[in-house]
A and B are shown apart, each in its own frame.
Chain A
């Protein structure tokens, strides 16, 4: 087991783009080697050691590497981008694009996450013990497929466009979500335990379950009997008819 602790020396105003901070990239590296890893800072690149105090215990493969951020990293973006194994734990708030396109492993955030959490994720797991901002598990701007696999659990609320263009995988939100969750999605499952507004607009495929209240239910859905999921019976809607969709929207 290798454990790497990173603590931010001083809160930064200009964002740090930390797409190189992954277990894959840290595995087997010494403190000095990790300090020397470059991250983008504004329009230039700087070594990680310029911003963080790095502590390393042990040396191991990516699967057995854990990165721990102590405190807020609210202006550090792209943590865990493309990671395939291992674990990242963030004990504080995190900036945008955390877990972007991750392929495996696990990210646990004990704080809030800014937009694009788990965007284009392919596999692995993200657990957010806090609130999420916009575009959780969505696609990159202009892309027709967002999250394809893996699971995102949000133990809190999420803002608008949750799971936009999602094609696979699972998102669970224990709290409420904002506008247009599951917009244009084409697969996967989204479960919202709280309330939602205008869900599943232009959905082509996939399943959306909303256990709380719905505001502004879209008229472009066809009611089609009921469906039982885990012992609970929901009203079943099929659509979005506007997009020729065959998605399933289950509501109370």
Chain B
């Protein structure tokens, strides 16, 4: 990193972490950090009163690892040009490598395009530990962005055995070991127990349906991992993809799961639970025939709860690619939609699947799904509980974020889309009755500020003195624009930042890539008492000897896979 000073003059700063709501001020940067002041010789950027935020932070995206299965299943995605400037083939330039794709862009395009949107940090939402090396190999080739990933524990044999045998300390030790082995940042649980059941062609039907051959329930797995998560004092809470995803009536399981976590006491100043892509888990009805929105019920619960955060999983009309460790869901998707299907068995750990699909406003189910994401964002009063995502590319590609922001900020824009829906769709949603329009301040919370606390990364998602100088300047004069009416302008501005700075380097200028520095990879090294660690390792050795197709030494992600690692150490409370 070069030693340098930058003065951003006349920045119209929106920084909810400091309660700053579109106030014009100067920002000072030295050596990649926000500072109080800079010298006369500082390089000057004139923000000219334009909207300025901390760099965006996408805390749930599928951008490294499983996305590669999506790439080889959908070579045709390479040529999709649905979002101008942010999709399709682009030849290399002096500063950038060749780019392709829309839902499953190549690694370089992922870095460039997030940066163009003013995003500077991403969290890969699912690392199968056995395949973690691959995830890190892709991280290495995603330029600009800082990265982290969540490791999958929800259908892991050793986890389920420790839960069954009531060995919480060994379980915590295993989680710490798994994070180290995969260089992961946090604990992801996908359809707890369902991945193992899928190995037998089955699924679990809810929180209390035992996993075949393990004599544990999804509820026990969730509570066991939450306890381990808190024992290890991990910077992030458990990150949960609820059981019964994508099924009509699943909102009940979702609320039940959220309620179960009321008794979890976080050992770090953050939420006790993050529930992901809730849109896919907020369905009412008993079948696809009487399917309708469950968002009001879920939002009602969320408004009265303070122990959790969630993200949207907003749907974008057009082609998408679903990719998840929820193997049985992907099989069901492919049969229902007569689509291509890929399935992977991650040995003792999980299953996963990839299925491409297309969301159409003409399908009443897709229209209601689209509405549910927005309903959740508008019905939940406190934006600090909400992270904006499309679960990219499950609900749609991240390059559509600017379009989706206008859904949240403009009732007129929503009306435009809704006018294309049939009567049946309108009867099954509550969105047409909602007139709330989010402000830039609220949008900033959902796209960067809340992530800082959610992931315990105080240096991210805000512009406080001492924070990383990740800054996005958008071509919007907040006092002159009415986002409700001028939603097209808002979309344009968010589609190509006037400036994106990463650690004080100008990486985007006028929507074009200026520089491509390598970002960091964060991972968590959680301390475990030595005796517990060695007892747990004996069990792990048996698993490798008896079952795994690789040896333990070949399983661990080595340091050489992380060119720019940031090791986060935790002390643990054993």
Is there a chain B Cβ closer than 8 Å to A140's Cβ? yes
A244 — nearest CB in chain B belongs to which residue? B338
Q: Mark B216-228, 1 if CB is under 8 A from A, else 0.
A: 0000000000000
How many interface contacts (CB-CB < 8 Å) are there between A and B? 13
| Chain A residues near B77 (CB-CB < 8 A) | 142
Q: Are A142 and B74 in contact (CB under 8 A)?
A: yes
A141 to B76, CA, bound (A): 6
Within 8 Å CB of A140, what residues of B? 75-76, 79
Could you say which residues of chain A place their CB within 8 Å of the CB of B264?
A: none
Give per-residue flags for A136-171: 1 if the beta carbon is below 8 A from chain B beta carbons, else 0: 000011110000000000000000000000000000
> B71-89 toward A: CB 8 Å interface, digit per residue (1/0)?
0011111010000000000
B92 touches A (CB below 8 Å): yes
Which A residues are CB-close (under 8 A) to B76?
140-143
Assess whether A142 is in contact with B92, with CB atoms less than 8 Å apart: no
A83 and B354 CA atoms in complex are apart in Å by 36
A9 at the interface (CB under 8 A from B): no
- Contact count band on B: under 10
Bound CA span A141–B73, Å = 9
| A143 to B75 Cα, complex, angstroms | 8
- The answer on a CB contact under 8 Å between B75 and A141 is yes
Q: Taking CB as reference atom, which chain B residue is nearest A139?
A: B76
| Overall SS of chain B's interface | helix
Cα(A86)–Cα(B125), bound, Å: 52
Q: Are the CB atoms of A43 and B75 closer together than 8 Å? A: no
Shortest beta-carbon distance, B171 to chain A, in Å? 42
Within the complex, the shortest CB–CB distance from A217 to chain B, in Å, comes to 25
Chain B residues positioned under 8 Å from A43 (CB to CB): 91-92
Expressed in whole angstroms, the Cα–Cα distance for A43 and B91 within the complex equals 8
**A side interface size, CB within 8 A:** 5
Query: Nearest A residue to B356 by beta-carbon distance?
Result: A142
Q: In whole angstroms, what is the CA distance A191 to B76 when docked? A: 28
- Complex: A143 Cα to B92 Cα, angstroms: 25
Residue of B nearest to A204 (CB): B338
Q: Which residues of B contact A143 (CB under 8 A)?
A: 76
Inter-chain CA distance A143–B77, complex, in Å, is 9
Nearest-neighbour CB distance to chain A for B66, whole angstroms, equals: 17
A143 nearest in chain B by CB position: B76
Cα distance, A69 to B164, chains bound together (Å): 75
Give min CB distance, B472 to chain A, whole Å. 32
Report Cα–Cα, A88/B75, bound state, in Å. Answer: 30
Instruction: Give chain B nearest CB distance to A184 CB in angstroms.
Output: 11
**Residues of chain A within 8 A of B79, CB atoms compared:** 140
A180–chain B nearest beta-carbon distance, Å: 18
* A141 CA to B100 CA, complexed, in Å: 14
> Which residues does chain B contribute within 8 Å of A141, judged by CB atoms?
75-76
Instruction: Report the Cα distance A140→B91, complex, angstroms.
Output: 20
Most buried by B among A43, A140, A142: A142
Contact flags (1/0) for A166-191 with B, using CB distance below 8 Å? 00000000000000000000000000
Interface centre among B74, B76, B77, B92 (most CB of A within 10 A): B76
**Chain A proximity of B481: nearest CB distance (Å):** 39
Query: Which residues of chain A have C-beta atoms less than 8 A from B74's C-beta?
Result: 142
Residue in chain A with minimal CB distance to B72? A142
Contacts of B75 in A (CB 8 A): 140-142
Complex contacts, B91 vs chain A, CB 8 Å: 43
What's the Cα separation between A216 and B91 when bound, in Å? 44
Complex CA gap A100/B92 in Å reads 24
Residue of A nearest to B98 (CB): A43
What is the minimal beta-carbon distance from A25 to any residue of chain B, in angstroms? Answer: 19
Q: Shortest beta-carbon distance, A8 to chain B, in Å?
A: 24
**Interface residue ranges of B45-93 to A (CB < 8 Å):** 73-77, 79, 91-92
Q: How far is the CB of B140 from chain A (nearest CB, A)?
A: 23
Q: How far is the CA of A65 from the CA of B92 in the complex (A)?
A: 34
1/0 contact trace for A107-144 toward B, CB 8 Å?
00000000000000000000000000000000011110
For residue B152, give the distance in angstroms from its CB to the closest CB of chain A: 27
Bound together, the chains give a CA A136 to CA B92 distance in angstroms of 31
B529 to chain A, nearest CB (A): 51
Identify the closest chain B residue to A140 (Cβ).
Answer: B76
Per-residue interface assignment for chain B, residues 93 to 104, with 1 indicating a CB less than 8 Å from any chain A CB and 0 otherwise = 000000000000
User: A140–B78 Cα gap in the complex (Å)?
Assistant: 11
With CB as the reference atom, state the residue of chain B lying closest to A142: B76
CA distance A43 to B76 in the complex (A): 21
A140 to B73, CA, bound (A): 13
Who on chain A is nearest to B92 by CB? A43
A184 and B75 CA atoms in complex are apart in Å by 17
Q: How far, in angstroms, from A141 to B72 measured CA to CA in the complex?
A: 10
A44: nearest chain-B partner, CB-CB:
B91
In the complex, which residue of chain A has the Cβ closest to the Cβ of B71? Answer: A142
How far in angstroms is the closest Cβ of chain A from B93?
12
Give chain A nearest CB distance to B530 CB in angstroms.
51
How far, in whole Å, are A142 and B92 apart by their CA atoms in the complex?
24
Least CB distance, B136 to chain A, in whole angstroms: 27
> Could you tell me the distance in whole angstroms from the C-beta of A78 to the nearest C-beta in chain B?
13
Q: Which residues of A contact B92 (CB under 8 A)?
A: 43
- For B73, the chain A residues whose CB sits under 8 A away are 142
Q: Closest residue to B76 on the A side, CB-wise?
A: A142
State A13–B77 Cα separation when bound (angstroms).
29
CB neighbours (8 Å) of A142 from chain B are 73-77
Question: How long is the Cα–Cα vector from A142 to B75 in the complex, in angstroms?
Answer: 5
**Minimal beta-carbon separation of B355 from chain A (angstroms):** 13
What's the nearest-Cβ distance from chain A to residue B358, in Å?
A: 10
A-B pairs, 9 with minimum CB distance: A142-B76, A141-B75, A142-B75, A143-B76, A142-B74, A140-B76, A141-B76, A140-B79, A142-B73
Given contacts A140-B75, A142-B73, 11 further A-B contacts (CB under 8 A): A43-B91, A43-B92, A140-B76, A140-B79, A141-B75, A141-B76, A142-B74, A142-B75, A142-B76, A142-B77, A143-B76
- What are 13 contact pairs spanning A and B, CB under 8 A? A43-B91, A43-B92, A140-B75, A140-B76, A140-B79, A141-B75, A141-B76, A142-B73, A142-B74, A142-B75, A142-B76, A142-B77, A143-B76
| Interface of A toward B, CB cutoff 8 Å | 43, 140-143
